[in-house]
Each structure stands twice: as C-alpha cells, then as structure tokens.
Amino acid sequence: MSDEMKFSEYHLQIGTDAIINRHLAPILADDPDNEENQRKAAQKLMEVLKEMRVRIGTLLKTDNVSFLFGAGTSISAGGFSLANIPKQIEEDLLRKVNEKQKKEKKEDDEVPSWIELFYRTVSAIKTDSFSFEDRKRLFVPESEGDYKEIPINLEDYLSHLHMWLASMGVTGNSMVLSFSDASECSIGKSDLDRLIKEITQSLSALLDLPKPDKDDALKSHRRFIKKVLTRPLNLRRANLFTLNYDTLLEQAADAEGAVLVDGFVGTLRRVFRPESYDLDFYFPAQTTEGRVHRFDRALHLYKLHGSITWHRCDQNWENPYGLYATFFNQDCQKDDVLIYPSPLKYGQALGLPYSELFRRFGNAIVQPQSVLFTMGYGFGDEHVNALIRQALAIPSFTLVIVDPDPNNYFVSELEALEDERVWIVKGWDLGTFENFVQKLLPDLREEEIYAKVMSTFMALTPPMRTGLNEEDVRNGE
C-alpha cells in the first residue's frame, strides 16, 4: 500500500471540518507521489495527531466522561461480527453433529433434524442453496477451499426463528412457511426450539475471550484502562458501558490493578446490588487534619446486555434481583441472562436488571458537560440510539464516534447535521479501537509532564533564541 493510501485511512471530522484532510490535502495536491511531499505530509500528520490528543485530553477532563463499547472492540481478541452468520458458530454446530454421530455410531445420512432445519431456513431466507452435506464438506480440516460465511445477519436470522416460534403459541406443534419464490418449508416446534438453543449456546461459548492464539490480545484494553485512569481525581469516575458479553475489560483492569465497580457486591457469592455504583473509595486519613485521599484506580463498569459471568437464581431478601456473578463456565449458556440478538432484545432491556443499567446509561450522558465515546459500536441497537438522541438535545453534550468504516443510517444522519458537538474518527489507521487508543487517546499525566517541561524551557530560554511563542508550544511545535 502506498503512503498516499495510508494517509486516506486517517480521517477525523468535527462538524463540517475534516481536520486531517484539511491539513494534508494542500501538501499532496500538486504531486502526491513526490517523496518530499510525502515526507512533509507525514510530518504534518504527526503534528495534527498531537494537536488532536490535546483536544481529546480536554474532553477527558470534563466532569462526566463515558465510553460505550461494541463488538468491534473485541475483534482483535478473537471476537466476531454478527453481520453474517459467523464461521465459528457454523463450525461449532457442525462439530456438535459430528461428535454426536460418532458417539452414537450413527451413519452419516442420519442427520439431526434441527441442523437440517438450519440449512433449509437460511436457504429460504437467502433464496440460495445451502445444504448440510455441502457445508460439512467445506469445513473438513483437510479442505483448502476458501469458504464464505452465510451472508445473513445473525441478529436478523435469530429474529426470524423467534418470531416463528412465537407464532406457534402454546398449543401449536408445527407450521409451514411459504416464501416469495413459491417454495415451502415445514418447521416442527421442537426442532425450532432446539435450533435456537444450539445457536445461542454456541454463541455464548465463543465469547470466552481472548482466544489462546491471540498474543497480546489485552494490550490495547490494558493501555485504554491505564490512560483513562490518568483523569484528575477531583472528577467523577469514568463510566465504561459495554454491549459485549465478554470479560476483556475486566481482565485488563485486573492486569492493571484497577478496581471496577460493576454493580455486584460480596466475597464468596457476588450478588447484584446497583446501589453499589453510588459508593466510592478513599484512603484513610494519614494526617492530624484528618484529610483523606481518593483512590485513583477505580472505574465504573456497566454490562448493558449481560455477561458470560452472570447467572440466574431465585430471588430472596439477600438477592432481590436473583442475579449473581462468578467466573465464566458453560452453565451460563443455560441461564437466561445474556440478551441475545432477537426481536425480544428491546423488551428484555426493559426488565431487571437491564432497565437499571440502561437508566444509569441515560442518566450519565444527559448530565451537563458530558462526553460519550462510542468505540466498535455500529449503532444497530435502537434502544441505545434513542438514549444517545436524547443526549444530543443537551447543548453541552459531545459525542465522539470511533469506527473504521461507519455505514449506519444513524451516523449518516449525524454527519448531515454538521454539528460541531459530533466528532467522527474513521479509517482503518485511526478508527479502530486499537489505533484510537494508541494514536489519539492521551495519557494525561504524560501530557502534564510535557507541558511542565516546555513551560520551564520557555521560561529559561528567551523567545528570540527559540523563535517560538507560547501558542506554538501549546500546539506541539
């Protein structure tokens, strides 16, 4: 890839101002392939990024700072997108069938009816042909063919399955679907219920991240935790809202020695107590004046769609929400805790404990002088978008969207508004979670030390000798 193409992967827009393009375009306009122009553009890019780190540092110093994590922040650790039916899920479904056939010593042609239903339904929805035999052949380890994922959004597919199941009601046992191409598909209730369970179990099992083959998968998450913790202690704790089920943020915080207030309290059995979000941590007084010091390594974590570490239990006086947390294990696949992609998702978000978590999300971003960073979130959840729309009605609210290739209508509408309160960071060299944390998210302590050094330098060196003024230094010259 040429240097010119690399520059095109850096894009930062505030309102109508495409900042990076505004600085680099004049340099590359006459002869973009010229080596000297390339060098000047690279140098200017570093200066612009330094300036933007200062401006993002100013946002981090506001009193109410929140981050919203989507699936994109987990990709580097082995996570996956739901835009298609992930290969990992289809492989897991086929593996289950293969293991069952071997265990029961069945012939290959004795295929479980639920997996046949899977391929019949995806074929009907996509008006294409997918069969168990063909797909199984593609997934053979010896096969060198580059097979493609089934091009159906997993959330949409699960929505179809849930709607079909709901339409049967309590007494129905089967139904016949007629599709636009005049084809028909017979669906048994037991097979449909089994298929939904198999897919959701495979989905939750694959969320135990990071995957063993992902070296340094937590590096960016750890760097993120470390940088956010450099915010001044007189400000409110930063809020980490995540739509992901995995535990990457928790693992990163543990590695950095940080405390995450996640709504659960207890030692042997941690139960959900949302009032714990209102607590804080201080060191005891060490002086005769009785002055206490605030603990500097704590953040608030809200898992808006549940977690692979959450489990249901009976409600009682000691556990009013009937929810407890522990380490991840396969039992979570059987618990009704995760909000899986389905048409029920919005309704589930209105129930406990999710309603409490979403209430706190909405409340956090509508406070005066609030900033919300969205990272790896594709704006596909309307119940989340509604709260962000509400926050945009607050004049002092700032929204920073970090996405390498945003293509959702919601982002397009925001771009069309040309609102200076909306920052959009995109391009694969800047808009991914990893690159944003590395190149744009500042370490405020390092920035403070740098500012003090330059201030001392300016105080000791006459301006005539440096050729710089105070404004130049602030701009990183």
Q: What is residue 5's predicted lDDT score, i.e. its pLDDT? A: 47
Query: Which class would CATH give 61-77+217-263+274-309+329-402?
Result: alpha beta
Whether the CB-CB separation of 308 and 332 falls below 8 Å is answered with yes
What sign does the CA torsion over 201, 202, 205, 208 have?
Answer: negative
Distance CA 455, CA 387 (A): 42
Please state, rounded to an integer, the average pLDDT across all residues of the chain. Answer: 84
Determine the average pLDDT of the residues in 22-42. Answer: 89
Distance CA 100, CA 252 (A): 37
Two tokens, residue 310: 């959450």
Given a contact cutoff of 8 angstroms between Cβ atoms, the answer to whether 72 and 432 are in contact is yes
Domain with CATH 3.40.50 in the chain: 61-77+217-263+274-309+329-402
> Which pLDDT does position 454 carry in this prediction?
66
Residue 334 has a pLDDT of 55
- Please name the amino acid found at residue 127: T
CA angle 228, 68, 65 (to 5 degrees): 45
Q: What is the mean pLDDT of residues 153-179?
A: 82
d(Cα 163, Cα 99) in Å, to the nearest integer?
30
Q: What is the mean pLDDT of residues 157-183?
A: 80
Residue 64 has pLDDT above 70, yes or no: yes
Could you give the CA distance from residue 330 to residue 332 in angstroms, rounded to a whole number? 5
Contact 397, 366 (CB under 8 A): yes
Share of the chain above pLDDT 90, in %: 43
CB-based burial of residue 239 (10 Å sphere; 0-12 exposed, 13-18 middle, 19+ buried)? buried
- DSSP class of 334: T
* pLDDT greater than 90 at residue 45: yes
In whole angstroms, what is the distance from residue 414 CA to residue 401 CA? Answer: 10
Contact between 415 and 13 under an 8 Å Cβ cutoff? The reply is: yes
Predicted TM-score (pTM) of the model is 0.83
For the stretch 372-390, pLDDT in tens is 999 999 998 888 999 999 9
Q: What is the pLDDT of residue 109?
A: 59
Give the model's pLDDT for residue 330: 52
Mean pLDDT of 439-457: 78
What is the chain's length?
477
- Average of per-residue pLDDT across 414-439: 94
Q: Is the pLDDT of residue 103 over 80?
A: no
* pLDDT score at 140: 66
Q: Report the range of poorest mean pLDDT among 262-276, 395-409, 450-464.
A: 450-464
The phi, psi pair for 476, rounded to 5°, reads: 85, 15
Q: Please determine, for residue 332, whether its predicted confidence score (pLDDT) is greater than 60.
A: no
How many CA atoms, within 13 angstroms, populate the side-chain half-sphere of residue 50?
16
Residue with more model confidence, 205 or 364: 364
Residue 209 Cα distances to 81, 174, 370, angstroms: 14, 38, 31
Nearest Cα residue to 249 out of 9, 454, 77: 77
- What is the rounded distance in angstroms from the CA atom of residue 306 to the CA atom of residue 300? 15
Residues of the chain with pLDDT > 70: what percent? Answer: 84
pLDDT of amino acid 68: 98
Poorest-pLDDT segment among 176-180, 268-272, 378-382, 394-398: 176-180
For the record, the structure tokens of 35 come out as 């080596």
What is the C-alpha to C-alpha distance for residues 142 and 444, in angstroms, rounded to an integer? 51
- H runs (alpha helix) in 81-153: 87-104, 113-126, 132-138
The answer to whether the peptide bond before residue 341 is cis (omega within 30 degrees of 0) is: no
pLDDT score of 417 more than 60: yes
**pLDDT attached to residue 349:** 46
What's residue 474's pLDDT? 46
Q: Evaluate if residue 465 carries a pLDDT over 60.
A: no
Give the model's pLDDT for residue 108.
Answer: 54
Q: In whole angstroms, give the CA distance from residue 229 to residue 237.
A: 9
What pLDDT is attached to residue 473?
46
What was the pLDDT predicted at 4? 47
Residue 176 has pLDDT above 60, yes or no: yes
